[in-house]
Amino acid sequence: MGSDGRYEAYEVDLWERLAALLPSIEDADSFRDCRESGQQEAGLWMLTQRLIEHQVPISDRIRAEIEVLAEQWGERLARHDEITSCVRDSENEESIRLLPDDRSMPVDPAQVGIAAPALAGLFVVPWIECLQCGRVLARAHVQEPWGDLRYLAAHYVVWHHAGPGDELQIFDEPDLQSAFELLLACS
């Protein structure tokens, strides 16, 4: 996913996998049309609405992939509650999952054992974890003067939460897919 061509192929495959979850051929075609016409935001809205309306069970990995796709298209904040309220496929034990909201609170990087000059003055929000290897993908945000975090992440961070000194990689904002790919590497 690191190169544009690999990401494009991944995103096409992801949209197809997500379209296959939709309850009707018409919904799937409409969803595909949204991507092809450059209306990904509308497609993500339709996807989450249909998954919820029809109680379609989805795996934790699919939930994480939808959330990353929503982040990529600037829709994560708008779609997060819908994504997390989709019915969980309990038969499908996945290793990748969104962290519960109570574990996704903004923290100073030092509080989670991260010492990196690139993250000085930023807040890290743990986001997605791999249950197999212990890696966490987090968003790093600037805090606005009024106290809220800036809407878009400045960086994405992948680290092992086992303790300080473990593997740490920082990705600039455009490299979200590379960060997610690193998280998926062991699964």
**What percent of the chain clears pLDDT 70, i.e. is strictly above it?**
93
Cβ–Cβ under 8 Å, residues 62 and 18: yes
Residues 102 and 162 in one domain: yes
Q: How large is the angle between the packed helices 76-85 and 60-72, nearest 10 degrees?
A: 170
CATH number at 116 reads 3.30.70
Query: Which of 35, 63, 94 is where one domain is finished?
Result: 94
The model's pTM is: 0.90
Q: How many independent structural domains does the chain possess?
A: 2
**Cβ–Cβ < 8 Å for 100, 80:** no
Residue 22 has pLDDT above 90, yes or no: yes
Instruction: Identify whether residues 139 and 176 lie together within a single domain.
Output: yes
Domain hosting residue 58, numbered range: 4-94
pLDDT band, very low/low/confident/very high, at 14 (cuts 50, 70, 90)? very high
pLDDT of residue 144: 92
pLDDT digits (tens, 9 = 90+) for 94-109: 789 999 989 899 999 9
d(CA 64, CA 90): 15
Does residue 176 register a pLDDT over 60? yes
State yes or no: pLDDT of 164 exceeds 50. Answer: no
